């Protein structure tokens, strides 16, 4: 069993839709949770970062963490064609110093006109 599970998609939605992307994890030691966006043949770009259960909002993006269920989500409101990309969840263990990230496989999102 992988430490982080993420549906690879592809997920296709019409412009303006609300998108829900999800990851589950098995290691309860994970404490930092991130979402990255990766355009084709580019490097991952940090979108959201959180370390506590609950919601964090930034513009059209909301990150949600439920540590009791080991489940994290990213919601995108009013989706745009420019949101078409692969979305990667990532998480890490708090070791007191910077530590490695464990990634999901990524969900490919296509927002159509």
Partner 1 sequence: NAGVMQNPRHLVRRRGQEARLRCSPMKGHSHVYWYRQLPEEGLKFMVYLQKENIIDESGMPKERFSAEFPKEGPSILRIQQVVRGDSAAYFCASLPRGTTTDTQYFGPGTRLTVL
Q: Which residues bind partner 1 (CB under 8 A)?
A: 4, 6, 8, 32, 34, 36, 41-46, 49, 51, 88, 90, 92, 94, 96-106
Instruction: Tell me whether residue 6 or residue 84 sits nearer to partner 1 (CB atom).
Output: 6
Q: Which residues contact 26 (CB under 8 A, 6 or more apart)?
A: 1, 2, 3, 4, 70
- Report how far residue 2's alpha carbon sits from residue 95's, in angstroms, rounded to the nearest whole number: 21
Instruction: Tell me whether residue 22 or residue 92 sits nearer to partner 1 (CB atom).
Output: 92
In terms of phi and psi (left: phi > 0; alpha: psi -120 to 50; beta: otherwise), the region of 70 is: left
- Say how many C-beta atoms besides its own lie within 10 A of residue 42's C-beta: 10
Q: Report, in Å, the least distance between residue 113 CB and partner 1.
A: 26
3-state secondary structure of 43: coil
Q: Report, in Å, the least distance between residue 36 CB and partner 1.
A: 8
Q: Report, in Å, the least distance between residue 16 CB and partner 1.
A: 29
Q: Report, in Å, the least distance between residue 46 CB and partner 1.
A: 6
Instruction: Tell me whether residue 14 or residue 41 sits nearer to partner 1 (CB atom).
Output: 41
């Amino acid at each position: 069993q992988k430490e982080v599970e993420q549906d690879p998609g592809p997920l296709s939605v019409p412009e303006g839709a609300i998108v829900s992307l999800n990851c589950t994890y098995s290691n309860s030691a994970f404490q930092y949770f991130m979402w990255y966006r990766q355009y084709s043949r580019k490097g991952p770009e940090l979108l959201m970062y959180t370390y506590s259960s609950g919601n964090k909002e930034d513009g059209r993006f909301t990150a949600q963490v439920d540590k009791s269920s080991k489940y994290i989500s990213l919601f995108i409101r009013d989706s745009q064609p420019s949101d078409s990309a692969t979305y990667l969840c990532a998480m890490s263990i708090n070791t007191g110093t910077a530590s490695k990230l464990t990634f999901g496989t990524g969900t490919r999102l296509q927002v159509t006109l």
